[in-house]
Amino acid sequence: MKNLFFVLFLFLILFFPGCQLKVLMPGYQQRVAERDSIARADSIALADSIARVKSFARAEVIAAGFFGEKEKADSFSDSLVYNINRAHFKGLSALEEKYYSVIGVGDIMLGTNYPNTSYLPANDGKDLLAPVKHVLRDATVTFGNLEGVLLNEGGDVKDCNNPDLCFAFRMPEHYALHLKNAGFDMLSLANNHVGDFGEEGRQSTVRNLDELGIAHAGLLTHPYSVIERDGLKFGLLAFSPNRGTLSIHDYTQAQRLVRMLKKKSDIVVVSFHGGAEGDDAYRVTCETEFYHGENRGNVCEFSKAVIDAGADIVFGHGPHLTRAVDLYKDRFIAYSLGNFCTYARFRLTGERGIAPIMKVYFDHTGKFIRAEVTPIRQTGRGGPFIDPGNRAIHSLQRLTREDFPDSPLQIGNDGLIERK
């Protein structure tokens, strides 16, 4: 009786292709539609595709065992899904690699209770990141630069010789939860505001981030972090020209730390706070930059030095403006991600009020695949929202074309960054 049913099963497969599809592939119409997305190398669709290829391979073995190679080929030639799978066999090696993503954003300051609470956002800051939360959470890892400390009160506020150039940022400690809920996994603390309230401010910031499991890097006391996501270990290092942080000027130390971290992790993300500030500081000069006499580093030399040592992605910030992007040894560099969420104490007119959410795709070795830009804008007192005018995309197109005319990257009007 079992043999009879098996013969009937093979008869249906051979002579009724439509039935064959429904028997072998429940929900096959949906799967055919899904397969169309494999050209984009989407990792989820790809995993499903590979499973289906294996399923057909098993069916081939069954048919070959009973009917021989010719009959097997004839029986499957009528199957649309099978033919699609066969067409993908040759190119499967290029698609079977799983892709990962890191989102990088620029400066974050969610409001300050210093000098008074009038500089804090409405609803205790709970709504500040809501317009972009769905974007931030859609990556393997999400990174940003935290400008200021997490401290409810107190601390030794820094001396300001020029109040027009000097601000002190002290965010309420529970605002760290807003960052966690928005999807942030990693933060740089290497910048000129991490010391705004002395050692008490630094320790409180570290403690609050640690309690929530948000990785951080850049302080001399906490130079790097390693986290694991989706089967990969991600390491973070952060540098700046400021006291108490890893130095952007010391290439030898930076390379040593990158090599050390590469042994502990699969993907190394390097952040730097560097480059000049001001309305005219949007160009990457690839020379040493200064701001009011302070050496802000040569961001091109630094970025290439850390990539030479093993860094896979470099995210820059500091100019409070969007800057160009480039590719070096198949590794992605964003020279400045601008003001992402800077509430109340920042000037947000013109280029200062636009920035990219940069989502970088790469393989398990860190090799760049593509990047996608979600343009955001801040108006009034601040807080990011998606910009329908795509201003940050237009700025990236223009600046990358002007600063790196030989770059292998091209940026589409839709924000897709890929090789030319």
0.75 exceeded by pTM: yes
Tens digit of each residue's pLDDT (9 = 90 or more) over 81-105: 434 444 444 444 444 468 999 999 9
- Element containing residue 340 per DSSP (H, E): strand 339-342
Name which of 38-47, 198-207, 247-256, 397-406 the model is least confident about.
Answer: 38-47
Once rounded to an integer, what is the mean pLDDT over residues 293-315?
98
Strand 100-109 vs strand 141-146: parallel, antiparallel, or unpaired? Answer: parallel
As a whole number of Å, the CA-based R_g of the chain is: 26
Compute the mean pLDDT over every residue in the chain, rounded to the nearest whole number. 84
Q: What is the pLDDT of residue 393?
A: 98
Look at residue 76 and tell me whether its pLDDT is greater than 80.
no
- Asked whether the beta carbons of 268 and 261 are under 8 A apart, the reply is yes
Range(s) for CATH 3.60.21.10 in the chain? 100-419
Minimum mean pLDDT among 31-40, 157-166, 272-281, 321-330: which range?
31-40
> How far, CA to CA in Å, does 22 sit from each of 30, 79, 81, 263, 395?
11, 11, 11, 49, 51
Q: pLDDT at residue 322 above 50?
A: yes
Give start and end residues of each alpha helix (H) in 183-285.
198-212, 251-264
Return phi, psi of residue 377, to 5°: -140, 150
Mean pLDDT of 99-117: 97
State residue 5's pLDDT score: 52
Of 8 and 85, more confident: 8
- Over range 222-233, report the average pLDDT: 98
pLDDT of residue 97: 67
Which two three-digit tokens encode residue 98?
């799983």
Residues 231/264, Cβ–Cβ less than 8 Å: no
The answer on pLDDT for 13 being more than 50 is: no
CATH class of 100-419: alpha beta
CA 20: distance to chain centroid? 43
Confidence at residue 73, expressed as pLDDT on a 0 to 100 scale: 40
Residue 281: which region, alpha, beta or left (left: phi > 0; alpha: psi -120 to 50)?
alpha
Left if phi > 0, otherwise alpha if psi is -120 to 50, otherwise beta: which for 55? Answer: alpha
- What pLDDT does 1 receive? 54
Q: Indicate the pLDDT class of residue 277, thresholds 50, 70 and 90.
A: very high
Mean pLDDT for 380-404 is 98
Closest CA to 410 of 400, 352, 152, 69: 400
Range in 75-89, 158-172, 347-361, 399-413 the model is least confident about: 75-89
Q: Are 246 and 165 in contact (CB under 8 A)?
A: no
- φ/ψ of 326, rounded to 5, equals -155, 170
pLDDT bin (cut points 50, 70, 90) of residue 159 is confident
